[in-house]
Structure 1
Amino acid sequence: MKILITGGAGFIGSNLAAYLLGKKHQVVVLDNLRFGYLENLTNRNNLNLQFIQMDVRDRKIEKVIKNVDIIFHFAGMNSLPACQSDPLETFSVNVIGTANVLEIARKCSIRRVIFSSSSAVYENEKSFPLTEDMQVNPTLAYSLSKKSAEEICHAYQELYKMDIVIFRFFNVYGPHMDFRRPNPPFISYILTCLLRDRVPVLHSDGNQSRDMIYIDDVLQVCEIAITNTNAKNQTFNVGSGKASSINEIYKQVAAYLGKEKIKPIFRKPSLLWDTYPNLFKGKFPLQKNFVEDEVHRYTLASIKKAKKLLHWDPRVSLTQGLKRITEFAVQNY
């Protein structure tokens, strides 16, 4: 099968490309390399891999899409403070880009599109575990852009009877996580600090908990979604169904690296996004309570739906996953 991955040079996309190549699929990676990196594509010399540098908003992607069977639409901006700092670009990439991919997929009669949404759409929910049937109402730019893109998916499902699967990914971690951006993912950040004997600066007291899911489990559910008839036009949470605290994660990673003596510094939660000072300037600055809420956010996915319809169950424990990503970081960071 010939499969297109937009954003395929990013974290999840590049891992998926390698996984699908291992399953003998033909893979086309489309990425403008603004947030992705060619070095993430470790199989660049594989004859079944084609890389195309192009933006998902470009209408010329039709010449790429018309020749594939399945699309994984993973391209997008996903750093919360970066998205909040540039909402116009965020909506252009995440919403207009999605509309462009879906419209061209419609014209080209693509059999299925699998869209990568986010647990961020549950931003203002206070009831746990989080279920797919909740009436989500996010407010931050990134979260709102993902919710808007989901609505476009629903419109194409209803208006054109297209087959579109939506995955709401929770906190995915594993090899090729981005550690270069100003606000990198937490695990990437602490690995980078500890490997360089730097003291990590964390926010709050470290007791906040998130649902962490290892990349290998994500790849399995992606593969299932290619052909599983139960997935048609469904929205699924993709998480572990367990919440782990920042302190718990830090202690395990530090122990694996033999860096237990390095203790993190804790700053005020409101300072988390201070690397984006434009957010807090002018007459109408971003209210700090939104940043604090993001720091303290608790996430816990209900994965009953994916278990029931897709017969998918995460297999990699937090302990196993952290050991794997630590071993990768030692060799590559």
Structure 2
Amino acid sequence: MGTYRIMVTGATGYIGINMISKILQEYDNVNVIAAVRSQEQVNKLQKLFNDDARLSFELGELPNHVWKISNIDILIHTAGILNRKDPIKLFQINVDGTRQLLEKAKEAKVKRFIYMSSQSVYGTKGTSLWHEEMPAHPEVLYAESKYAGELLCMKEAFSTLQTVILRVARVYGDGLFTYQGILPHYYAGCVAKKEPIPIFTYNKNSVNYIHISDLTEAISKVISTLKLPNKLLLNIGGDRAYTNLELGHICQNVAEFCQCEKPSLLFIKKHIQASQALSMDITKAKKYLDWSPTTTMEEGMIQLIKARIDVID
């Protein structure tokens, strides 16, 4: 691969910032343009990456001040919001913002557009093993906005823009700007703080998780794989799905490796609902990218617990 210029939107978000870190660590022949909203974010990233000369910045914001795109080989679009309280703003940023970005990328002759979508577009109905050919059934506004972005990427108007859509499982793992309040991070915090782990018995759904390092490796494969179809939709997920109870048992099993007490499980009984296994078929990603997730949930949980211990100490 020759010298590439890669733009990353959502550069200060969990996925975006860890992707920038991955690129700077593994590629000497790549310049990264971080699409940010403010000078404050520029200062934060410059400090974090020690003023790396390969990292530059473009100021802008979706949807009204879309970043300038010039001489970009690959654009990784991770920017978006989850705001459920303001559906108008959500669709303006996640949908209209994506449309404007696609138009600018097409005009600038970007070689490859990578769109970060979500497993949530599948909804919770139908088969328990999601594959790319099954119809989408988004059930919440965020999922609807991500699916609308997918449809934009596939439009005939952008047929000349090579696009890879990644439907990503729930991301976890110790990394830059890690979210601490969601599973399985919350359970890791319980172990570190010597608190019981709450197991909601009404929620027997199993959820597919992917470690942040496995996700950034998959995106890296999309960057480096030279021959891909002009329009490609891929599931990016972990090895399998896990229930809350399984995560709790994993925390109990790995606690000793983190020099922690074995946590107790606190069962919270509420209304029982039908259980569903929400898992992803990643066969296509393995085929096209020569990629598979390598971080086990046990390994990922150990990392999370140790990271939480360091914060508490």
Asked if the contact 1:11–1:40 (Cα under 8 Å) also holds between the matched residues in 2, the reply is: no
Task: Name 1:77's counterpart in structure 2.
Answer: 81
Q: Deviations over 1:216-264 (max 9, x none)?
A: 2111211111142125310000012411222222332354252434434
Is 1:56 matched with 2:62?
Answer: yes
Q: Deviations over 1:57-93 (max 9, x none)?
A: 243512xx21322110000113xxxx33221121111
Task: Name 1:163's counterpart in structure 2.
Answer: 162
C-alpha separation in 2, matches of 1:121 and 1:104 = 25
DSSP 3-state at the match of 1:211: strand
Q: Deviations over 1:115-147 (max 9, x none)?
A: 000000001432031100111121310110111
**Aligned-partner residue type, residue 67 of structure 2:** I
Task: Name 2:211's counterpart in structure 1.
Answer: 214
Is 1:21 matched with 2:24?
Answer: yes
Residues 108 and 250 from structure 1, CA distance in 2 versus in 1: closer, same or farther, beyond 3 angstroms? Answer: same
DSSP 3-state at the match of 1:186: coil
Unmatched tracts of structure 1, length 5 or more: 271-291
DSSP 3-state at the match of 1:29: strand
Task: Name 1:68's counterpart in structure 2.
Answer: 72
Asked if the contact 1:116–1:168 (Cα under 8 Å) also holds between the matched residues in 2, the reply is: yes
Asked if the contact 2:200–2:244 (Cα under 8 Å) also holds between the matched residues in 1, the reply is: no
Q: Deviations over 1:134-185 (max 9, x none)?
A: 1112131011011111111111x554421111000011211236436xxx32
Is 1:308 matched with 2:311?
Answer: no
C-alpha separation in 2, matches of 1:150 and 1:131 = 15
Unmatched tracts of structure 2, length 5 or more: none
Aligned-pair identity (%): 23
DSSP 3-state at the match of 2:11: coil
DSSP 3-state at the match of 1:165: strand
Task: Name 1:243's counterpart in structure 2.
Answer: 241
Give the C-alpha shift of residue 200 in structure 1. 5.3
Residues 192 and 322 from structure 1, CA distance in 2 versus in 1: closer, same or farther, beyond 3 angstroms? Answer: closer
C-alpha separation in 1, matches of 2:55 and 2:311 = 23
**Aligned-partner residue type, residue 128 of structure 2:** F
**Aligned-partner residue type, residue 49 of structure 2:** N
Asked if the contact 1:177–1:188 (Cα under 8 Å) also holds between the matched residues in 2, the reply is: no
DSSP 3-state at the match of 1:331: helix
Asked if the contact 1:225–1:231 (Cα under 8 Å) also holds between the matched residues in 2, the reply is: no
C-alpha separation in 2, matches of 1:55 and 1:14 = 17
Task: Name 2:184's counterpart in structure 1.
Answer: 187
Asked if the contact 1:194–1:262 (Cα under 8 Å) also holds between the matched residues in 2, the reply is: no
Residues 305 and 2 from structure 1, CA distance in 2 versus in 1: closer, same or farther, beyond 3 angstroms? Answer: same
Alignment of 1:232-271 (within 5 A): 232-254=230-252, 255-256=254-255, 257=258, 258-264=260-266, 266=268, 268=270
**Aligned-partner residue type, residue 118 of structure 2:** S
- Structure number having the greater helix percentage: 1
Task: Name 1:288's counterpart in structure 2.
Answer: none
Residues 329 and 41 from structure 1, CA distance in 2 versus in 1: closer, same or farther, beyond 3 angstroms? Answer: farther
CA-based RMSD: 2.8
Task: Name 1:286's counterpart in structure 2.
Answer: none
- Structure number having the greater strand percentage: 2
DSSP 3-state at the match of 2:81: coil
Give the C-alpha shift of residue 12 in structure 1. 1.2
DSSP 3-state at the match of 1:2: strand
**Aligned-partner residue type, residue 263 of structure 1:** L
Residues 40 and 137 from structure 1, CA distance in 2 versus in 1: closer, same or farther, beyond 3 angstroms? Answer: farther
Q: How many residues align?
A: 298
Residues 60 and 203 from structure 1, CA distance in 2 versus in 1: closer, same or farther, beyond 3 angstroms? Answer: same
Task: Name 1:322's counterpart in structure 2.
Answer: 301
Residues 147 and 262 from structure 1, CA distance in 2 versus in 1: closer, same or farther, beyond 3 angstroms? Answer: same
**Aligned-partner residue type, residue 219 of structure 2:** C
C-alpha separation in 2, matches of 1:50 and 1:297 = 45
| TM-score where L is the length of structure 1 | 0.79
Is 1:3 matched with 2:3?
Answer: no
Give the C-alpha shift of residue 206 in structure 1. 5.6
Residues 220 and 178 from structure 1, CA distance in 2 versus in 1: closer, same or farther, beyond 3 angstroms? Answer: closer
| TM-score where L is the length of structure 2 | 0.84
C-alpha separation in 1, matches of 2:308 and 2:77 = 27
Task: Name 1:123's counterpart in structure 2.
Answer: 123
